[in-house]
Amino acid sequence: MDPAGLRAEFPVFEQFAYLNAGTCGPLPAASVQAVTDVLAQAAADGRSQTYFTGMLDTRGRLRDAYAQLLGAASEDVALTTSTSEGIVRVLAALELQPGDEVLTSDEEHPGLQGPLAAARTQRGITIRVVPFAQIADAVGPDTKLVACSHVSWVNGCVVQDLSGVGDVPVLLDGAQGIGAIATDVSSLRCAFYAGSGQKWLCGPVGSGMLWVSPDWNERVPASGPTYLNLAEPSAGLDAVPHAGAARHDTSAQSLETTAAALAALGVLSDAGWAEVHEQAAALAGSLADALAERGREVAPRDRTTLVSWKDDDPAATRVKLAQDGVIIRDLPGTGLLRASVGAWNDASDVDRLLCALA
């Protein structure tokens, strides 16, 4: 991998030490170009056959690229707009009943908590919350679903080995996993993996994916099949959803969105995914070490891309750092600041952050 070459693909680094991929990854120039090309052609030619065949073709290639990254078959991957949408679709399809227990952790994001709380109100499910580090050992007799993060957005810890959950399906929130660390859905022992396209995959907001294990495919009907989900839409009321995960595809995603997402994946895969993961984890580790050496209380973490540490006034510090050109985020309610370190970052970003904090 050519780290400087990869970094040069992202215009944001001309000005900023951008360390915020856990919210939205840096956008590569290639994605901007892809959107521009699509829209220029659409404006000149109208959006008819060429636009729609281009859209279907690009959707297929995006699905293949996501599948490759997940270690999965393309037919088991749905195209969504976000991690949250994937979570919502799985919870709707599972048709949980009153009294069914969902086991979750104390480090989950509103993208999972919101849909779980709604299922509690609307369906009468019970939600049991346990420490993230203990989730795999906490399954009880009433547990019908385990729903938690692959990588905690709070501190970068990785979910423990899930073999202890037995036959209970696991829905993993992969927002901070896919693209950040090597992800192989078959070894994660989950039934569902929902991920974001706009974070560690550097795509546009409105891109993402949902993997459905082939073992669960038959048991999760499409919760709202519309045109793109139907195998033969012209069959009208007799139309049936696609056999695979495409039945869970989001109902509308523009060609410009899919083209931008695909272009970003191209930039990262050209750099080499193994190198991208290694470079990011190594740099994040060196940031964590440097913060600790400077007396900062770094939250316990695993070898991932997120580094969180205590701060007396995280919101104010985040604003001050932004004025110095260093972009990170604070995590409201935790007393933590969080830096997201990708392969596109380098030692100069880490130095800038440490100087601005001093």
Of the listed pieces 33-41, 77-85, 120-128, 221-229, which binds ligand PLP according to CB under 6 A? 77-85
Contact 314, 337 (CB under 8 A): yes
Q: Does 173 bind ligand PLP (CB under 6 A)?
A: yes
Does position 84 interact with ligand PLP (CB under 6 A)? The reply is yes
Stretch that binds ligand PLP, among 80-88, 124-132, 320-328, 346-354 (CB under 6 A): 80-88
Does 104 engage in binding with ligand PLP (CB under 6 A)? no
String of contacts with ligand PLP for each residue 13-32, x by CB under 6 A? ----------x---------
- The correct pick among 169, 204, 208, 342 for binding ligand PLP (CB under 6 A) is 208
CB closer to ligand PLP out of 175 and 246? 175
175 is a site residue for ligand PLP (CB under 6 A): yes
Comparing CB distances to ligand PLP, the nearer of 197 and 230 is 197
Q: Name the one range near ligand PLP by CB under 6 A: 82-90, 127-135, 251-259, 269-277.
A: 82-90
Kindly indicate which of the ranges 30-38, 39-47, 173-181, 256-264 contains the residues binding ligand PLP, using the contact rule CB under 6 A: 173-181
Phi, psi of 318, deg, nearest 5: -60, -40
Positions touching ligand PLP (CB under 6 A) are: 23, 82-84, 109, 111-112, 149, 153, 173, 175-176, 196, 208
